[in-house]
Structure 1
Amino acid sequence: MMKTLIKVFFAPLLWLAHACSPLGEPVDVEKSDNHYYNNEKSDIRYSPMGNWFELGNSPMNADVESFEVLNRFISRDRNQVYFMENPVEAGKVDLESFHIKKGDFMEHIGFDKKYVYAFEKVYSTEKTFAKFEKIEHADPKTYVRLNWDWGKDKQNHFYKNALIDVDYASFKNINDYFSKDINRVYFHYYENFESIKADLNSFEVFDEGNFAADSSKVFSVTYPSQDETKLVTIPRNPNEEISQLSYAFIQIGERVFYRGTQLKDLDYREVEIIENSSYIKDKHFVYYKDSLVQDADATTFGKISKWEIGDKNGAFREGKRIEEK
């Protein structure tokens, strides 16, 4: 009975939504669920997954007769190439030879007879527009994108759409921060890619990925800001054992560090991470990240409820005691 009442109640709303839809038939249902004719078939409308009511729809002002869907994001007509709903600047891409390739991570990549292009949608306060970047030195015949950061062709590797100077045959990306070849170790993050002074034979990356080490150094990734990601080098003796305590804390011999900063008050023999959080303590001191928590009772400090960390006197948030209201 209840199901019948729900159907009766919602049926008119569904009919009204369908009747008011600005979308007609999909242009090419096999290639895209984002491109549709309008009801009169006089224009193309871009609507993510056809969900025009929640995700919107945009007129593309394309030439309907020659319009062709290439994949979910890239299309073309006789005049220009489009990325999502926005046209790419006319004359910048060779239309006659322009094409795409199928494959994982390839939906934002286009090709013509000379170049490889990476497309993206740019959002601004004034308007959105399609931006494309020519991937310099990339061979359009052999280029493939391996994931969102890495690509290669028959003779070069690329990071963030930029050519990198590495040994092609031996190059291996280890994780989000480190890679190496037969000659060097590399650090990369955001737009930065650089070689670092590391011993190739002893270099290793720890499980969490934020730390690496060789026989004489520990490398710690820090994040002062998006544009200032740094790699801090911490000297070590070859006989010092290294133990990664969490994603951000590491123990090197008798020293404990938060990323690249030593926590000098802590006794390495007694350190304890509080519930895999940014808190660490021993019997006498509590640290939040690299800052000493001055008024914390180390003996009772820990998880005090399902959602709270604190001591016998109350809860803390981001290293500060929460004042009771």
Structure 2
Amino acid sequence: MKVFLIVSAIIILFLLGIRYFLFKIGDPVNAKLSNSYFHHYRKNLIVYSPMGNWFELGYFESDADVATFQPINIDFGKDKNNIFWKGKKQSVDYDTFEIDDSYIIKDKNHVYITNGKSFDLLEIIDGADPKTYQLLDASLKDYRRNNWFKDAHTVYYKNKKIEGDPKTFHPVNDMIAVDANFIYAIISYRGEGLEMLGVDEVIQKHKMIEGEIHPINESYAQIGNTVVSAFTNAEFEIHTFDTIKRIRKIDYWNVIVDHILINKGVLYPEIDAESFEIIENDFSRDKNSIYYCCKKIVGVEYSSFKIISDKYSVDRKNVYFRNAIVKGANPEIFQSASEYDVWEDGQNRYKDGKAISSLSKK
């Protein structure tokens, strides 16, 4: 019993020691307003620790005045003299600083953003007028509403100044925007795969067209008898028809205008639009043929066709890479090899649809 008490006392002292030397945060300053601002466990100071998870997310010992400090929201706070963000003092005008219901951060001099070059310092939006800076259109839905702003003279996309008339500018969907004078392409990314980069640009592409404006889906828009898209390699495509009676949405990349398929902004009149359907990834078909990226897979046997990856397919006779035959490959045993993006058929190894080495015994 005596040994048990001694061991228990050692464990308790050990735990208290851990608490004393490792724990940096004590009680929250105001749990209703923020779960990230705390009193220090041992010192008379304010600590900022995201969600109180100091062990994984760290903590910052602020120089805020302890007696007067109060959180404004999760990450912002103030004392009698200064404004703080993530526990760090910010160079803003204290008396006029505000964060409105749209999470616009401003004072009498500037509008600020939290996603600038420094992780704990507010950054000024160059040239933005704090008196008139506001949401472009509060009626826009969800994420789109918070991407677009304006002031008396300028339109801003994700807080970047762009061309456009603030009185008439509005996004039609994720890819197209318009104002009274022009049509704009909204470019979020450039490149593909590992080379894809976020750019967040809005580019003036074409003079405005007469006619009613309607989003078709998130990537196509109709303006009068014209269909516009902006996610292609050219970053803008426009197709004008004599009339448009019917538009059928298939998916993000494909729409059918009357009897014409448009895939990624390109017209494919040779594909039967009425029977067209997506099979998987970039593979599709109509009643006559099978396609890869809307390019016909020549000679493929419709009844035995099977997709085996995002780029390879087989039928009874051949292996296909995208829309071309892989010469000499055996479709019966063609399979993925242990090496990334390499395939084999018992005789040869293949990469990007071409034989790269032999598997035959020497």
TM-score (norm 1): 0.69
Separation in 1, partners of 2:17, 2:307: 50
- Partners of 1:143 and 1:153 within 8 A in 2: yes
Which whole-Å CA distance do the structure 1 matches of 2:147 and 2:238 have between them? 25
Greater CA radius of gyration, 1 or 2? 2
Cα distance in structure 2, aligned partners of 1:296 and 1:18: 69
Give the Cα–Cα distance (whole angstroms) in 2 for the partners of residues 18 and 30 of structure 1.
Answer: 28
In 2, the alpha carbon distance for the partners of 1:186 and 1:163 equals 10
Q: Does 1:213 align with 2:222?
A: yes
Distance 1:198 1:302, change over 3 A: farther
Q: 3-state DSSP class of the match of 2:121?
A: strand
Quote the residue 2:30 is aligned against: 28
Shift of 1:181: 4.9
User: Residue 150 in 1 paired to residue 155 in 2?
Assistant: no
> Match for residue 287 of structure 1?
291
How far apart are the structure 2 equivalents of 1:235 and 1:16?
75
Residues of 2 paired with 1:86 and 1:290: CA distance?
Answer: 54
Q: Percent identity?
A: 21
Partner of 2:105: 110
- What one-letter code is carried by the residue in structure 2 that aligns with 1:132? E
Query: Per the alignment, in what secondary structure is the counterpart of residue 246 of structure 1?
Result: coil
Aligned to 2:264: 259
Shift of 1:158: 3.7
CA–CA distance in 2 between the matches of 1:210 and 1:18? 56
Q: Does 1:75 align with 2:77?
A: yes
Segments of 5+ residues of structure 2 without an aligned counterpart are 1-11, 139-144, 188-199, 325-330, 338-362
Equivalent-residue separation in structure 1 for 2:302 and 2:282 (angstroms): 15
SS of the counterpart of 2:115? strand
The residue aligned with 2:173 is 175
Structure 2 CA distance for partners of 1:310 and 1:64, relative to 1, 3 Å: farther
Deviation, 1:272, is 1.7
Match in the other structure for 1:274:
279
Provide the secondary structure at the position in 1 that maps to 2:51.
Answer: helix
Shift of 1:18: 9.2
* Secondary structure of the corresponding residue to residue 114 of structure 1: coil
Match of 1:236 in 2: 241
Q: Structure 2 vs 1, CA of residues 45 and 202 (structure 1 numbering), >3 Å: closer, same or farther?
A: same
Which residue matches 1:7? Answer: none
2:65 paired with 1:64: yes
Q: Secondary structure at the match of 1:196?
A: strand
1:134 paired with 2:125, answer yes
Q: Using a 3 Å threshold, how does the CA distance of structure 1 residues 183 and 130 change in structure 2: closer, same or farther? A: same
CA distance in 1, matches of 2:17, 2:55: 8
Asked if 1:192 is matched to 2:202, the reply is yes
- What CA deviation, in whole Å up to 9, does each residue of 1:20-66 have, x standing for no partner? 53211112222211112221243333222223344x22214323335
- Is the contact made by 1:282 and 1:298 (CA closer than 8 Å) also made in structure 2? no
Structure 2 counterpart SS, 1:45: strand
Separation of aligned partners in 1, 2:336 and 2:147? 46
Q: Take 1:214 and 1:158, find their aligned partners in 2: how far apart are those partners?
A: 23
Change in CA separation of 1:68 and 1:196 when aligned onto 2, cut-off 3 Å:
farther
Shift in Å at residue 149 of structure 1?
0.8
Task: State the Cα distance separating 1:283 from its structure 2 match.
Answer: 4.0
Distance 1:84 1:291 in 2: 53
Q: 1:318 to 1:78 in 2, by over 3 A?
A: farther
Once residues 295 and 77 of structure 1 are traced to their aligned partners in structure 2, the CA distance between those partners, rounded to angstroms, is 75
**For each residue in 1:160-190, what CA deviation from the matched residue of structure 2 results, as whole angstroms up to 9, or x when unmatched?**
223654252x554433233445555544342
**Paired letter, 1:251:** I
Amino acid at match of 2:30: D
Residue 166 of structure 1 aligns with an amino acid whose one-letter code is D
Q: Name the residue aligned to 1:9.
A: none
Find the aligned partners of 1:96 and 1:273 in 2 and give their Cα distance: 59
Q: 1:163 to 1:140 in 2, by over 3 A?
A: farther
- Report the count of equivalent residues: 292
| Partner deviation per Cα, 1:47-96 (whole Å, 9 max, x = no partner) | 22223344x222143233354422212234567544335554x4xx2234
Taking the aligned partners of 2:295 and 2:307, their CA distance within structure 1 comes to 19
Secondary structure in 2 matching 1:237: coil
Q: Deviations over 1:267-324 (max 9, x none)?
A: 334322226x4322124433333555568544454789xx9x9665699998899725
1:37 aligns to what?
A: 39
- Aligned pair in 2 of structure 1 residues 157, 310: CA closer, same or farther (>3 Å)? same
Partner Cα distance (1:135, 1:255) in 2: 46
